[in-house]
Amino acid sequence: MASVLAPFRLKPWFSERVWGRPDLRPWYEETGTKELVGEAWLTGPQCVVEEGELEGKNLADLKDDLGGEFPLLVKLLFPNEKLSVQVHPDDSQAQAIGQARGKTECWYVLEAEPGATVALGLKPGVNVEKIANSVADGSMESLMEWVPVSVGDMLFVDAGTVHAIGPGVVLLETQQTSDITYRLYDYGRPRELHLEQGLKVIKTKTEAGKVQPKQMDGFTRLIEQKYFVVDKFDLAGMEERRVAMDGAAGCLVGLKGKVWVITPGDEVELEPGKAVVVPHGLDEVIVEAEEEAEFVRCVAPAN
């Protein structure tokens, strides 16, 4: 039996987007580009290991060592303008076009200006025909349910949900590892739309919406769904915590302060805006904080 890889830290990969920001501070001092950046991919296949024996390899290179593709794509989103109105297919719809999986996701609100909103789903009575007609007359926004958001909100966005994100927020997105996006409406920006594909996968009723947190033993459960479980941990300075992984593939994402992720014979530092991948097969890690710190644990349950 192959030995289990030790946890390792990935360098974020920055995705340029027309709706992004020119400056991602305080999260990141540099992005390596002068273009607008909308997303920092923390566990993308192209993200590179920053140190240790695996330094220089990207997550895709480690597919065999990890026992398959890492199942969670975790990102930070930095919208400076409205994102397009879009929809994602579910597993069966994605597999019907030769893709491995669909795209169900969730958003945890890290920053929110007063009045910030996201759109989740369609208003009652709105059908696919109305959506199609709204593209031509620019009225699609009026057909969607707009939800005010505040720091600490968790929102579930299951596949088939028509959705959009407004400006003035920073979101931690946890999703299935998939980048299938059907853009339905883009406010007149000169980008390709995918109306035909998108209309086929829209669900007029979904489970999307805010999720109430649950206080657990030593952490807060933000969401528990088929594809991911996301929990938030708060540590005081010099505190040490055992963090269960139960052998599942997952990662820890730093939100505040620096911590050390420790396993027998190995330790790796985690800082805000970065992810440490914990390969499946590890039952737990020890997290040690030198200062007050926050991080989230994102795990892909064995289905």
Q: Which domain holds residue 114?
A: 8-208
**Contact between 223 and 175 (Cβ < 8 Å):** no
Residues 118 and 180 placed together within one structural domain of the fold? yes
C-beta atoms surrounding 48 within 10 Å: 16
* 138 in the same domain as 183: yes
2 lies in some domain: no
Report the pLDDT value the prediction gives residue 130, as an integer from 0 to 100.
95
User: What is the Cα–Cα distance from 113 to 168, expressed in whole angstroms?
Assistant: 5
Do 12 and 71 fall into the same domain?
A: yes
Same domain, residue pair 104 and 249: no
Same domain, 124 and 64: yes
- For residues 109 and 224, membership in a common domain is answered with no
pTM: 0.96
Q: How far is Cα 160 from Cα 28, in angstroms, rounded to an integer?
A: 32
Chunked into runs of 10 residues, the chain (303 residues) has average pLDDT values of 80 97 97 96 98 95 92 97 96 96 97 98 95 91 97 98 97 96 93 94 96 97 97 96 93 97 96 96 95 97 78
pLDDT given at position 303: 63
